[in-house]
């Protein structure tokens, strides 16, 4: 594997959740809305962290989200909307190398497909002349 221009536009984002159900809900939203090409849900995992100046330990589920770098701000906003945590983990790491076919698929899966021409509710000038 070697670095290529496609890889610099691709990113992995880590998100943790308190349950498999919440991870599945968020993953379905991200992929369904084309903010992510793929989400792996790993868990349970044990997380040890500092919160309110105390060491905490919880069982969580780790989401490994593959997306475009430019979509990370929208992805983060969507995670915050759906997440139960006050401060959800959203950490983005650039992909520096990868299989070209996989990275091409990732980028193609996170592009909003071209929509059919949106027809205005107002008739076009040609349609008005034909009336």
* pLDDT attached to residue 111: 80
> Residue 44 has which token pair?
């349970």
* pLDDT attached to residue 66: 98
* pLDDT attached to residue 109: 95
Class of domain 7-112: alpha beta
Residue 3 dihedral angles phi and psi, to the nearest 5°? -65, 145
- Which residues touch 34 (CB under 8 Å, ≥6 apart)? 109, 110, 111, 112
Q: Are 26 and 40 in contact (CB under 8 A)?
A: no
Domain ranges of the chain: 7-112
Where are the extended beta strands (E) located within 3-131?
10-17, 38-51, 54-68, 91-94
CA distance 11 to 102: 13
CA distance 109 to 117: 21
Q: Are 63 and 23 in contact (CB under 8 A)?
A: yes
Q: Provide the whole-model pTM.
A: 0.81
* pLDDT attached to residue 117: 37
Chain position carrying tokens 């379905």? 28
């Amino acid at each position: 594997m070697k670095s290529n221009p496609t890889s610099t536009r691709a990113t992995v984002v880590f998100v943790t959740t308190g349950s498999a159900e919440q991870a599945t809900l968020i993953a379905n939203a991200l992929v369904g809305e084309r903010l992510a090409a793929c989400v792996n849900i790993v868990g349970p995992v044990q997380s040890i962290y500092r919160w309110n100046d105390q060491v905490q330990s919880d069982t969580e589920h780790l989401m490994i989200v593959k997306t475009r770098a430019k979509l990370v701000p929208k992805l983060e906003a969507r995670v915050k909307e759906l997440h139960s945590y006050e401060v959800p983990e959203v950490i983005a790491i650039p992909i520096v190398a990868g299989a070209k076919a996989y990275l091409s698929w990732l980028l193609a899966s996170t592009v909003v497909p071209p929509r059919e021409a949106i027809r205005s509710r107002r008739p076009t000038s040609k349609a008005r002349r034909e009336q």
